[in-house]
Amino acid sequence: MPVSLSAISMFKIMFLAVEILFFSSILLAKASPSQSHFSKFSRSSGGLSHKEAILSLCAHTPHRATCESTLLSCSSSSSSTRGSDHLPHTLEGAFVQSVHSTVAKAQHARALAYNLTISHRQNADHDVHFPGRGVNDCLELLDDAIDMLDNVMMTSLSKPNDDDVHTWLSAALTNQETCLESLEKDKFQTEKNIMDVTAQNLSQYISNSLALFVLTMGSSSVSFASSSEHLPRDTESKSKEAKNANPNRRLLASDSSFPTWVPASERKLLEASVGEIEADAVVAQDGSGTHKSIGEAVKGLLLIGSLESSGTSTGGRSVIYVKAGTYHEYINIPTKQKNVMLIGDGVGKTIIVGNRNSDDGWTTYKSATVAAMGDGFIARDITFVNDAGPSKHQAVALRVGADKSVVHRCSIIGYQDTLYTHSKRQFYRETDIYGTVDFIFGNSAVVFQTCNIHPRKPPSSGLKNFVTAQGRSSPNQNTGISIHNCKIAAASDLFPVRSSYETYLGRPWQQYSRTIIMQSFMDDSINRAGWSPWSGGSALNTLYYGEYMNSGSGASTSGRVKWGGYHASLTSTQAEAFTVGGFISGNLWLPSTGVSFSSGLIG
């Protein structure tokens, strides 16, 4: 879609602000060598010219030629007399310029995706049912990526929050990888090829920006080659935060120690029972509510703009109460619709059911019964189901790409790819998850606590179960799956025949796949090897799989795999890095949601 005049104006303002910061950083670098973590570039360049220093810096990025082109472009576009005066003189300047270029590439990619979707609608109106449009996924994912990149730009102009910026850049890269995956199913070859090249190009820009950001986080000699450790880069600071917050203390919704910035109205809302909540919309199939379908309620709240109103009785959060019933519909909460809370009458009472699947032409991304991309999403006391069946392959019940999202006291039921923890920071508490193949997958930074994880009986003999398939594709992403104080045990249909099927804790979907299971119970349905390779056996030395103080007959590590990236017995310090406080900075945002959580290790 062509950029609007207002968007162009905002872009110019943002560009001007970046330029001001850019030249200010140059002056500061010349005046006095700052000791901040952004100053390493200028201090480490020694006697090199600025251009030579940039070439040296780009050697530490995954796409060197793209980095050089990005950081040297300002001098080529200016007069030769001004030359290197326009090159970034600090690591911060290099990072800001990289993000600035990435935003421009993302806007171009978004315009291309929009035009391709419009062209198809005009030329293929006769094709009423064609679910497998990968370019549609790309358009939605680009909107989300641009929203996050804009956040990075604005944050770079103020006081940076390392965890926020790290999350946004990690998720923006994940979005492009999902776009590429969806394009594989697109039947329109010409459109697919054009969009594929664009998405791959944008991925390089995002990946380089992420690499430059990681350099700013305190490591003067970061290697972007494979690493067997893959601990969070800011493990030390987060671990201290978790300890300072008393990791053994269980934080409750009724806890009075909410942060001062959480409005009193929000505290009251999140501590209340369903009967005490004044919902913004009530969904009831018998007509006793404001809407008869959940989709109508979601769209209605977006249209009237109540999500943006700070004067609502719920402190800015939109609450949709879904009364008991089985709802056959598909729900999409987009990026721009933030702080939506879905509350049901309880597991098995409020049920949302769909059956989209890959065999019927849907992309994995669009197969979800319920999808939430708007930040601050909360779901409570609801059952999410994809009942396509075990033979239909990828069929998602719930997909979440919302930052700082919470799923509490829910049930998520499917077979292959049941729960898509797509991106950003997520927390699941007291939730039951059922599936067969890769039924917890994605590339978010997610912690599961006191959840019940149930492998189901495969559709035929010889098939295997895989609990997780984590999709971390870059060692710079702050993503991974942490399963803490949970129960992993065969579902009722698998339990009597569990000896006839192999069930594994996970397999590496991507090269730097990262999954940790700690202080959890595993029954004897878990294969002694514990983990399984992806077909082809790649990533066994670059992944990071770890276990810590687990119990149950399936928890013994004596027969586990011997891969270079597998850690049979993590230390307490290593495990602490994957707790709520250490991995998703949950102490800073979970109290405002009202959900119970343990910030550190148990005991």
Give catalytic residue positions.
438
Sign of the Cα torsion 239, 242, 247, 252 reads negative
Pair 381, 402: CB distance under 8 Å: no
List Cβ<8 Å contacts ≥24 apart for 303-312: 306/280, 307/337, 307/338, 307/339, 307/340, 307/374, 312/280
**Closest CA relative to residue 410, chosen from 333, 337, 344:** 344
The identity of residue 305, as a single letter, is G
Task: Compute the distance between CA of residue 360 and CA of residue 553 in angstroms, rounded to an integer.
Answer: 39
Map tokens 């005049």 to a residue: 5
CA dihedral 561, 562, 566, 567 (to 10 degrees): 100
Please state, in angstroms and as integers, the Cα–Cα distance from residue 72 to each residue in 88, 132, 136, 153, 207, following that order. Answer: 9, 40, 34, 20, 18
* 1 membership: H or E segment, kind and range: none
Strand order through the sheet with 398-400 = 331-333, 370-372, 398-400, 419-421, 437-442, 464-470, 502-506
Q: How many helices (H) and strands (E) does the chain have?
A: 14, 28
* 455 membership: H or E segment, kind and range: strand 452-455
Lookup: tokens for 490: 């065969």
Neighbours of 296 (CB within 10 A): 14
Pair 234, 577: CB distance under 8 Å: no
Task: Compute the distance between CA of residue 110 and CA of residue 104 in angstroms, rounded to an integer.
Answer: 10
**Closest CA relative to residue 148, chosen from 73, 194, 202:** 202
Pair 411, 432: CB distance under 8 Å: yes
Q: Residues near 76 by Cβ (< 8 Å), separated by ≥ 6?
A: none
DSSP 86: G
Distance of CA 156 to the CA centre of its chain: 21
Degrees, nearest 5: CA angle 378-244-36: 95
Task: Compute the distance between CA of residue 230 and CA of residue 577 in angstroms, rounded to an integer.
Answer: 11
DSSP 303: H
- Render 98-159 in DSSP notation, one character per residue: HHHHHHHHHHHHHHHHHHHHHHHHHH-TT-------HHHHHHHHHHHHHHHHHHHHHHHTS-
Pair 513, 539: CB distance under 8 Å: yes
Task: Compute the distance between CA of residue 507 and CA of residue 534 in angstroms, rounded to an integer.
Answer: 6
Pair 163, 234: CB distance under 8 Å: yes
